[in-house]
Amino acid sequence: MQGRIHSFQSLGTVDGPGVRAVVFMQGCPLRCACCHNPDTWDMQGGREVTTREIFDKIYRLRSYFGTEGGVTASGGEPLMQPEFLAELFELCKNAGIGCAIDTSGCVYNAKVERLLDLCDIVILDYKYTDNEQYEKYVGMKKSAADRFLDELEALKKRTWIRQVIIPDINDSEESVRRLYSLRDRYTCIEKIELLPFRKLCLEKYHSMGISFPLEDTPEASAELMERLGLCALKS
């Protein structure tokens, strides 16, 4: 089967447990204000590849993965190409390679469910704890992410939650407490991570001739992240 990818990273250490190959899928229906990869939005962008071509690249790296590593499909939004990824993950699983996706959880259907069945772990970018912020800064309803999390719970799928902390938007202790309270309702959540907002993508936006919505927003300081981290420990 053919699909479209943006890029391939050989050995990543921040996209799930262990050392992982990372396939950045092409295409995303969302327009997150803090997105670092606007060049992945176009559904027809990137380059066309086959599942066998990508599997062969992953397989050559298998000696680095150890017991926890494997492959992570990120994006873009991997849920836009669930059939391609399901075929790729079947090849990987048959070779003993662990599989993960990093997703916004923006859609759920039978094809996505089949893909999730092949995932060992799901990294869910739970972007805000407030629906108004979800609609304003992402372009989707918070209920879609909640529904996706409900399905992960039903599937008993190992789940990591990630949220980018953006000053003056979702950097309050109240917001962080609401995020960590998800553990009270979802036993599938194994880990929650707070990530600092950065603006390393500015040059990319400028080169593409589009504006970065948060260009005037300060980056998240180490002090802010430490304070919120302590708040999380108390949650």
Encode pLDDT of 174-212 as tens digits: 999 999 999 999 999 999 999 999 999 999 999 999 999
Q: What percent of the chain has pLDDT over 90?
A: 98
47-50/98-103 β-pairing: unpaired
* DSSP 8-state code for residue 139: S
Encode pLDDT of 130-179 as tens digits: 999 999 999 999 999 999 999 999 999 999 999 999 999 999 999 999 99
**What six digits make up the tokens of 224?**
């802010």
Helix axes of 110-117 and 142-155: crossing angle, nearest 10 degrees: 50
Binned at pLDDT 50, 70 and 90, residue 233 comes out as confident
Q: What is the mean pLDDT of the chain?
A: 97
Encode pLDDT of 106-120 as tens digits: 999 999 999 999 999
Angle at 78 between CA 87 and CA 70, to 5 degrees: 65
- Give the pLDDT confidence score for residue 234 in this predicted structure: 81
What CA–CA distances, in Å, run from 86 to 95, 100, 130, 143, 225? 14, 11, 32, 25, 36
The model carries a pTM of 0.96
148 vs 31: CA distance, rounded Å: 19
